[in-house]
Chains A and B, each alone.
Chain A
Amino acid sequence: MRTASSSLKSKDLLGTEHLTPEEITLILDTAEGFKEVSERPVKKVPALRGQLVINLFMEASTRTRVSFEIAEKRLSADTLNFSASGSAVEKGETLIDTAENLVAMHPNMIVIRHKHPGSPRMLAERFENIAIINAGDGAHEHPTQALLDAFTIRERLGRLHGVNVSIIGDIKYSRVVRSNIHLLTKMKAKVTLASPPTLMPAEVEQMGVRVVHSLDEAIEGADVIMMLRIQLERQGKLSFPSLREYYNTFGLTRERVRRAKEGVLVMHPGPMNRGVEIASDVADDPNVSVILDQVTNGVAVRMAVLYLLGSAHGVEER
């Protein structure tokens, strides 16, 4: 029987900005149960049987899309993968028209990734009976990434409260960082951001974070070091002079990790640029890196989100 405490307030998951700590805990606790499902020989539960989930990916993705698809299938939902290339989007069809056409075929949920901030919200406001899940909207939010990051930290360190998390890299253009800041500060973790000044967004301290421009300062005292991908295309865009210089100043190498706390976790949302923001021997070291755990946990967390939003609508006829 569903009670008020076993569902999310909103019909959608557009970001972590407006989630309450209770909702975050609910999602993480639910994900624990689903992680166990993924370890069984028959990795399926019937929770979303008969429901149709459309994965509307207007931007490239391997990890997130595959993770959502697996999560949907493990919940017994029917899935449809839509990607912009090969669709009428190439003929100039707008997002709204694309969505209207898909919605006319009665899906229950839409998972959307798009390069423009606010796109999931556009759909959520337009389609009152469909649960919209944000899989990344431009540099704005990527809530399931932050949730799986939190799950991983909580699993390894036993808590989020008081954990020192340092996020390093292209802060300005990162949706992962924004979603993580909201979630971690709500759960009373302490967040430090580090990047060259040209990659730090305006007035970000107002989000309740510490800002430094030195990798070593960010590493000192950190329980978790979260590395962000440097988007290679930015090199020509005046943000920093060269990848070489970036690696020398902010690249996470073994020597620099050595200065960190005992038991520090190294995380990365992927995809990684080996030798740019992170050295291979750090990324592949099972003693510090939990990068692949993040991926495994991503499926469980997405199952939890789909379950909590899907079952809010259940199989009731509209």
Chain B
Amino acid sequence: MNLLITGARLIDPSQSLDAALDLLIEDGTIAKVDKKIKANVHTIDATGLVVAPGFIDLHTHLREPGQEHKETIATGTRAAVAGGYTAVCAMANTVPPNDERAVTEMVVAEAARNGWCRVYPVGAVSKGLKGEELAELADLRAAGCVAVSDDGKPVWNAQLMRRALEYSTMLGMPVIAHEEDANLNEGGVMHEGYYSTLLGMRGIPAASEETLVARDVILAKLTNAHVHIAHLSTAGAVDAVRRARANGVKVTCEVTPHHIALGDEAVQSFSTNLKMNPPLRSEIHRKALLEGIADGTVDAIATDHAPHHFDEKNVEFDLAPFGVIGLETAFAVCYTHLVRAKVIRLPRLIELLSCGPARAFNLPGGSLRPGSLGDVTLLDVDAKVEVPRESYSKASNSPFIGQTLHGRVVATIVAGQVKHEEKHERPKAQTRRHRR
């Protein structure tokens, strides 16, 4: 597909570019980035908008196969493009789990048929996600998996984690670690702290994550493997990653938008749309995440989009399943709570959403360098939106419904094809003099 995008502020952290530049896509690939490109192709006038590499989500639950009442590959990827995502990594805790080639191939085929964006499957570390025996990691890799993870559950057995990391070095893919100690959790449903005490609910201590992170960076060092820490939520984990990296360990990590924006104080409403794992933590931890984002310790923002059916969440807090959706609100939440809040600037946010994820998992995309995938996201950073209850996702378990946020995805382009478009009013009386 051929496409010309003109008049925008082009931000590509992979080339340290932030300038008024036009972008030409030919045959689904970035062809040219330059001032005032002229080409006889379909043109999008992006005056007043920001053009960025298409976002990549390292952590999405598409729920297919097996849990299609929550979400499908079709609806999940539709939600993804609505959020500016041109690629998502689909987690393995489906039913049956993606612990063998057959399931990977099914996911890849269904994504090709009905997906709205690229889908990179993540395979399981252990057979059946049981945490006992290694799954056929080489076969999963060959079938198309870009990483492996038992996410949803930790790999409790340190020896199994060691062997998985070791084995993965031959396959050139990371092991994504979901870090929690079920024993320390003791049935907890929210962060252990003042608010869990006030509300009389069982708490999940920060130590549950911190102990496992400490363990896994040591194992990554031992095996010289790449470990990627999923949904970091604690100060201790940020610290452990920072120190490990300084010691040459191949560790990357991600943070979710909801952990950036929210804390355990909000759980006083008992809304089950505030129940997720790891839980929303106290302000000390949230501030540490922001510091890690600002100083480069955090490589990526990943949504951990976890759809659940309304009926499943419409129960008492204790009984509700963990998880919230996030693909459609990720940019606005992060733009509001990171850029407008002056924690980081827009290019760094774009890096966390596109180049950072691509680099972390060695994925194509995340760049507007000529020759890269023609995956592009158009943003209106001046827009103000009230988050509606309706969503492209089948599920509506979002903590942000009803909130007013800044920043909006105006269009999402995959391989030069427009997959999502919002009506956008061009700023009036703009001449072709480029704004900065």
Find chain B residues with CB under 8 A from A118 CB.
199, 270, 316-318
Q: Encode contact with A along B172-214: 1 for CB under 8 Å, 0 otherwise.
A: 0000000000000000000011101111110101000000000
Q: How far does the alpha carbon of A234 sit from the alpha carbon of B198 in the complex, in Å?
A: 21
Asked whether A202 and B196 contact (CB < 8 A) given A121-B270, A138-B201, A139-B201, the answer is yes
Interface residues of A in 15-71 (CB under 8 A from B): 17
Find chain A residues with CB under 8 A from B194 CB.
202-204, 206
Q: B319 contacts the other chain (Cβ, under 8 Å)? A: yes
Find chain B residues with CB under 8 A from A121 CB.
270
Pair B197/A116 contact, Cβ less than 8 Å: no
Q: How far does the alpha carbon of A119 sit from the alpha carbon of B270 in the complex, in Å?
A: 9
Interface residues of B in 280-318 (CB under 8 A from A): 314-318
Q: Considering the complex, give the chain B residue whose CB is closest to the CB of A115.
A: B318
Q: How far does the alpha carbon of A161 sit from the alpha carbon of B95 in the complex, in Å?
A: 60
Asked whether A116 and B199 contact (CB < 8 A) given A202-B192, A202-B193, the answer is no
Q: Considering the complex, give the chain B residue whose CB is closest to the CB of A177.
A: B200
Asked whether A117 and B200 contact (CB < 8 A) given A95-B316, A138-B318, the answer is yes
Q: A178 contacts the other chain (Cβ, under 8 Å)? A: yes
Q: Encode contact with A along B217-258: 1 for CB under 8 Å, 0 otherwise.
A: 000000000000000000000000000000000000000000
A selection of 17 A-B contacts at a CB cut-off of 8 Å is: A17-B198, A94-B314, A94-B315, A114-B316, A116-B317, A117-B318, A118-B317, A119-B316, A121-B270, A122-B270, A140-B200, A140-B201, A141-B200, A173-B200, A201-B197, A202-B197, A203-B194
Q: A207 contacts the other chain (Cβ, under 8 Å)? A: yes
A199 to chain B, nearest CB (A): 12
Q: Considering the complex, give the chain B residue whose CB is closest to the CB of A171.
A: B197
Find chain B residues with CB under 8 A from A139 CB.
200-201
Find chain A residues with CB under 8 A from B203 CB.
201-202
Pair B199/A140 contact, Cβ less than 8 Å: yes
Q: How far does the alpha carbon of A188 sit from the alpha carbon of B315 in the complex, in Å?
A: 37
Closest 9 CB pairs of A and B: A139-B200, A118-B270, A140-B200, A116-B316, A201-B197, A203-B194, A116-B318, A118-B317, A117-B200
Q: A96 contacts the other chain (Cβ, under 8 Å)? A: yes
Q: A74 contacts the other chain (Cβ, under 8 Å)? A: no
Find chain A residues with CB under 8 A from B316 CB.
95, 114, 116-119, 122
| CB < 8 Å neighbour of B319 from A17, A116, A173 | A116
Q: A175 contacts the other chain (Cβ, under 8 Å)? A: yes
Find chain A residues with CB under 8 A from B315 CB.
94-96
A33 to chain B, nearest CB (A): 32
Q: How far does the alpha carbon of A119 sit from the alpha carbon of B317 in the complex, in Å?
A: 8
Find chain A residues with CB under 8 A from B319 CB.
116
Find chain A residues with CB under 8 A from B205 CB.
202
Find chain B residues with CB under 8 A from A114 CB.
316
Asked whether A207 and B197 contact (CB < 8 A) given A95-B315, A117-B318, A118-B316, the answer is yes
Find chain B residues with CB under 8 A from A116 CB.
316-319
Interface residues of A in 111-130 (CB under 8 A from B): 114-119, 121-122
Q: Considering the complex, give the chain B residue whose CB is closest to the CB of A237.
A: B186
Pair A117/B270 contact, Cβ less than 8 Å: yes
Asked whether A117 and B193 contact (CB < 8 A) given A94-B315, A96-B315, the answer is no
Find chain A residues with CB under 8 A from B314 CB.
94, 96
Q: How far does the alpha carbon of A122 sit from the alpha carbon of B272 in the complex, in Å?
A: 11
Asked whether A117 and B197 contact (CB < 8 A) given A122-B270, A202-B192, the answer is no
Q: How far does the alpha carbon of A139 sit from the alpha carbon of B200 in the complex, in Å?
A: 4
Q: How far does the alpha carbon of A224 sit from the alpha carbon of B199 in the complex, in Å?
A: 25
Q: How far does the alpha carbon of A94 sit from the alpha carbon of B272 in the complex, in Å?
A: 15
A81 to chain B, nearest CB (A): 21
Find chain B residues with CB under 8 A from A122 CB.
270, 316
Given pairs A96-B314, A96-B315, 17 additional interface contacts (CB within 8 A): A95-B315, A117-B318, A118-B199, A118-B270, A118-B316, A121-B270, A122-B316, A137-B200, A139-B200, A140-B200, A140-B201, A141-B200, A178-B200, A202-B193, A202-B194, A204-B194, A204-B197
Q: Considering the complex, give the chain B residue whose CB is closest to the CB of A141.
A: B200
Q: Encode contact with A along B252-281: 1 for CB under 8 Å, 0 otherwise.
A: 000000000000000000100000000000
Between B201, B203, B316, B319, the greatest number of chain A beta carbons within 10 A of the residue's beta carbon is seen for B316
Find chain B residues with CB under 8 A from A115 CB.
318
Q: How far does the alpha carbon of A140 sit from the alpha carbon of B202 in the complex, in Å?
A: 10
| CB < 8 Å neighbour of B200 from A95, A96, A138, A203 | A138
| CB < 8 Å neighbour of A203 from B197, B199, B201, B318 | B197
Find chain A residues with CB under 8 A from B193 CB.
202-203
Q: How far does the alpha carbon of A224 sit from the alpha carbon of B203 in the complex, in Å?
A: 30
A117 to chain B, nearest CB (A): 5
Q: How far does the alpha carbon of A122 sit from the alpha carbon of B269 in the complex, in Å?
A: 10
Q: How far does the alpha carbon of A209 sit from the alpha carbon of B315 in the complex, in Å?
A: 33
Q: How far does the alpha carbon of A139 sit from the alpha carbon of B317 in the complex, in Å?
A: 13
Q: Considering the complex, give the chain A residue whose CB is closest to the CB of B192.
A: A202
Q: How far does the alpha carbon of A117 sit from the alpha carbon of B203 in the complex, in Å?
A: 13
Find chain B residues with CB under 8 A from A96 CB.
314-315
Q: How far does the alpha carbon of A178 sit from the alpha carbon of B318 in the complex, in Å?
A: 18
Q: How far does the alpha carbon of A175 sit from the alpha carbon of B317 in the complex, in Å?
A: 16
Pair B201/A117 contact, Cβ less than 8 Å: yes
Find chain B residues with CB under 8 A from A178 CB.
198, 200
